[in-house]
Structure 1
Amino acid sequence: KSPNYPTRESPLNSTDNEILRDTLEKRSEPSESSDEEEFDGNVQADFAFFDPKSNDFHGVKTLLQAYLDNKQWDLTGFVDLILGQTTVGTVVKIEGDEDDGVFSIVTALNLGRYKDHKCIMEIKEFLLKACQEKDVVDGLRLTLGEQAQNVGLLVSQRVVNLPPQLLPPLYDALFDEVSWATEDEPTEELRNSFCFKFYIIFSKIYKHKNADQKMKLSNDSDEAIIYTKPEDEIFHRLSQWSFSFPLHTQQPTHELRNYRFMGLVMAVEAEKISTFRQELKSLINES
């Protein structure tokens, strides 16, 4: 980072530089000796935020394995892009973990700046092919094409059981870094590349087979949409446009047999991000 960036060689919390502390559930093997103390299943874990580094490659790649459903694409190149952009982007790890496991990756990549990279071309192609909604496809094509220089692809992947309390500081870190980059990057071209007007977010949801009817029936007990990540409900509500499409990688469980696993693509104006940050804090505090 440039000298104006806060250093993150050490762990940080976006508010007070303390390590974020939480409890991870961990299953223990049955004890062979009855003399041993019974393990209660809880271990203390100190989560910390770090700038992406090359040794995070395998951890980040694992998190992004199904990013484009079951498509064969240049995932390696995509991970390299993410890790190469150290001024904006955060990985979450456990402090002192020798395995270097990555629990979350959050970043924003300028679609214009990286337009000639194979992985970005493949993402654009994937999204355009997936969009079957005529009232959205023109906006999508514009966002991925002529306006790409002002568009950030917001990438946010994590392990399922990451404590939700980490989400507000994680997104705060991302959007603060974007803001700092517009002032602190060494060249005007780089500074401008973080002046996003829109964010594109590609996520996954479970959509009820009768979702359109359910949205009209407020007394129905089944949700029309089940979001796999709580923040996506906020992004969806704030989005200028969105569309969903069927995915192939994951079949719903028996409990979700009335739902389809879908991709959800959303375009959110950058000016809505402050609202998003406030609503995310409220959502997590209430839960």
Structure 2
Amino acid sequence: MVKKRNRDPEILAEAPPAKTDGDDSGSDEDIDMVNVEFEWFNFKPDIDFHGTKSLLRQLLDVDHQLFDLSALADLILSQPTVGSTVKVDGEDTDAYAFLTILNLHEHREKEIIKSLVAYILDKSKSSPELSALGPVLSDSSSQVGLILAERLINVPSEISPPMYTMLIDEIEAAVEDEEPYKFTHYLIISKTYREIASSLDQEDAPRTKKSKAGKGSKETFYFHPEDEVLQRHAFLSGSYEYTKDEGEGMADSKRAFQDLGIKAQGTMLLIEAAKFEGAVKAICEYLSPPQ
């Protein structure tokens, strides 16, 4: 269990270190492993602006161009005691990962939130699975917390259970302090992908091209394993196409050493507040490293 952190941004309680183990003597493969010890911190406005903005750009993929990421990063950093960063080389370095939550109702007059809500509503209309999201956001009694979380590639998913556990603790403390974090729903914006036929195959011989042209899958794959767990507890969930074009060849650049290309897409999950703690517990059970 992760200890609750002191909400003073300068004083942090313990957070359990996560490591990638270099002792892999039982493996059949000769893989060099590096021991890395991760540390959890509150947001530090004078340090974390550029790192947070970079991770937001990665999270929103090609559609990051639609938003003022500087304003979004500033808003995240304005609430330093709610949410976490994960770092390796101390507090005064760029984050390898972050997780935060924003009250869409409380910040509804801010231009960046207006643009995010407009985007969310537009995407909800493009997917039958997301169609019920609009009425929730429009309901004056709803208090929706927008969760944004991202990490650099190769950062292990085991860092997410402490981040989500600490978020619950911090929300509880904020509510006790009568801050606006008492939510009815939690909305997660994330990324998934589908496998698609590769354009590189167009240069293959006709027989090979024909055999590969039909390849591809409607199955959705998750960049973040914890999102798949959250989806099982969601009131609604669905994926959508990005507004901006990835550009020719982008799917092939994400082939990940396989025949098929990868088509990234946005994903939204809406979880009722009563089920959020159970969803986080399930993440901990699924992703926490063995003791």
Q: Which range, TM-score by smaller chain?
A: 0.7 to 0.9
Work out the CA distance in 2 between the residues paired with 1:76 and 1:229: 24
Partner of 1:199: 186
Work out which structure has the larger RCO, using CA pairs closer than 8 Å and 6 or more positions apart in sequence.
Answer: 2
Say which SS state the counterpart of residue 114 (structure 1) adopts: coil
Work out the CA distance in 2 between the residues paired with 1:235 and 1:61: 24
Q: Give % identity.
A: 29
Asked whether 1:22 is paired with 2:19, we answer: yes
Asked whether 1:172 is paired with 2:169, we answer: no
Work out the CA distance in 2 between the residues paired with 1:127 and 1:163: 28
Say which SS state the counterpart of residue 64 (structure 1) adopts: helix
Asked whether 1:257 is paired with 2:260, we answer: yes
- Scaled by the length of structure 1, the TM-score of the pair is 0.75
* Structure 1 unaligned residues grouped into runs of 5+: 26-39, 211-221
Identify which of 86, 93, 98 aligns with 2:87: 93
Say which SS state the counterpart of residue 62 (structure 2) adopts: coil
Identify which of 233, 237, 240 aligns with 1:242: 237
The answer to whether the 8 A contact 2:20-2:35 is kept is yes
After superposing on structure 2, the runs of 4+ consecutive aligned residues of structure 1 that deviate more than 4 Å are 40-43
- 1:55-204 equivalent positions in 2, closer than 5 A: 55-71=47-63, 72=65, 73-96=67-90, 100-131=93-124, 132-134=126-128, 136-137=130-131, 139-147=132-140, 150-185=143-178, 190=179, 193-204=180-191
Query: What CA deviation, in whole Å up to 9, does each residue of 1:229-263 have, x standing for no partner?
Result: 00111111111112211234452416272653221
Once the two structures are TM-superposed, the CA of residue 46 in structure 1 deviates from its matched residue by 2.8
Work out the CA distance in 1 between the residues paired with 2:218 and 2:80: 39
Provide the aligned C-alpha RMSD in A: 2.9
- Scaled by the length of structure 2, the TM-score of the pair is 0.74
Aligned length: 247
Partner of 1:230: 225
Say which SS state the counterpart of residue 108 (structure 1) adopts: strand
Say which SS state the counterpart of residue 271 (structure 2) adopts: strand
* Structure 2 unaligned residues grouped into runs of 5+: 23-30, 198-216
One-letter amino acid of the counterpart of residue 233, structure 2: L
Partner of 1:215: none
Work out the CA distance in 1 between the residues paired with 2:56 and 2:86: 14
Query: What CA deviation, in whole Å up to 9, does each residue of 1:93-137 have, x standing for no partner?
Result: 124376x12111111100001111111111112222223135633
